[in-house]
Amino acid sequence: MNSRFDQIVNRRGSGSYKWDSAQDGDVIPLWVADMDFRTAPVVVEALERRVAHGVFGYTLVGDDYYKALTEWFSTRHGYSFDRSQVIYTSGVVPAISAIIKALVKPGDGVIVMTPVYNCFFSSIRNNGCVQIDCPLRRVDLPDGLFTYEIDFERFEQCAARKDAAMFLLCNPHNPAGRIWKRSELARIAEICRRHGVRVVSDEIHCELTAPCSSYVPYGPVDADVNRDNPQAIVCLSPSKAFNTAGLQIANIVCPDEDVLALVDRAININEVCDVNPFGVEALKASYTPEGEAWLTELRDYIWDNYRFTLETLRGELPQCPVSVLEATYLPWVDVSSLGIPAEELEEILTREAKVWVNCGEMYGAGGYIRLNIACPREILAEGLRRLTGWIHAHCS
């Protein structure tokens, strides 16, 4: 393929959570959601300039930060907001936790559409709230594929519960791989408005969509539905798209001044109100024409990896359907036909096949595994070879 993304970067021994968590140094990690690619050169150069300064005191987030953020989303996604509607913080998970603390009373309910990002569960639990599950409806397709749709009848029932106070939306959805349509988001907004349920949208995967496609930001949809009182709370970060999670930067966007003040107080109570200079510089560098050009190459490479994964699994494991991946780099694979609980399968594959995947139980749905394909093709191919080889040897 002769791509910059084919370069293998040795991450072992670098303090990498992904690569150094396994006690066995031969394990290929296709699990936690960070990429094995160097970030965009424009980001590296910005960080090198900041390091050369040599002083790393408390950070003042300036106008250029907000300009980069707002212009990127306005130009690239048609999502317009201004700096008065933004709170910066150290990550999307701390943001969600603080938002729940600010707006949901302990004992009240928070709706999630399972399977869904596992940190939603812990953020709800840690704030003393009740998780309300609204499972997505699986739709089987030809050629060993499947996708998901929203069960709106069930969703309305969940929203109508007296204890329902908030809905955590994953947009695009991890691990279902869906880009939600505008019509679906509008229906969510209408149902939640009717029942007084606040919507918080995690949009961290928004840049990682299939080539020639893009996500629909929830904020403008909510503004169309709730013209007199738009209330959407949206969490954004460049960290997934530019592989900068360790730099810890994210933003909360909300047009409701009173709500934003409550969230800001919770951000301070949770002590996640300060950010480091490297996260600030990385965001400004990411949201540039150079960053956008790199991102286009990245998306093409990830989707080539997805096609490779599909071809491999269709050929080697036709009994294991794969999700349609409209966004993210995290295919969702149905392993229920193997007769081994996915949680157990994850442990066995790590120990015996030397490949680490995530089990579906983490996301609220047994019988599935989640793969991370954001790595050089050589690593992906070896990881899939180990996975399919072990299944052939033990599950035939």
Give Rg (Cα) of the chain: 21
State the pLDDT at residue 7.
97
Write down the pTM of the prediction: 0.97
User: Using an 8 Å Cβ cutoff, are 255 and 263 in contact?
Assistant: no
The rounded percent of the chain whose pLDDT value lies above 90 is 96
- Edge to edge, the sheet with strand 86-89 lists 86-89, 250-253, 233-236, 198-202, 164-170, 109-112, 130-133
| CA separation for the pair 331, 245 (Å, rounded) | 20
Give tens-digit pLDDT for 262-303: 999 999 999 999 999 999 999 999 999 999 999 999 999 999
Helix (H) or strand (E) holding 29: strand 28-29
Angle 43-44-49 from CA coordinates, rounded to 5°: 100
Contact 333, 306 (CB under 8 A): no
List, in sequence order, every residue forming a beta bridge with 252; answer none if it has no partner: 87, 235
Answer for the pair 356, 24: CB distance below 8 angstroms, yes or no: no
Tokens coding 273: 């109100």
Residues 18, 34 contacting (CB under 8 angstroms): yes
Please name the amino acid found at residue 378.
E
Report which DSSP code applies to 128.
T
Q: How confident is the model over 380-396, as pLDDT tens digits?
A: 999 999 999 999 999 86
* Interatomic CA distance for residues 185 and 221, integer angstroms: 7
* Ranges under pLDDT 70 in the chain: 1, 396
Question: Hey, how many other C-beta atoms are within 10 angstroms of the C-beta on 291?
Answer: 26
What local confidence, expressed as pLDDT, does residue 2 receive?
Answer: 73
Residue 282: what pLDDT?
98
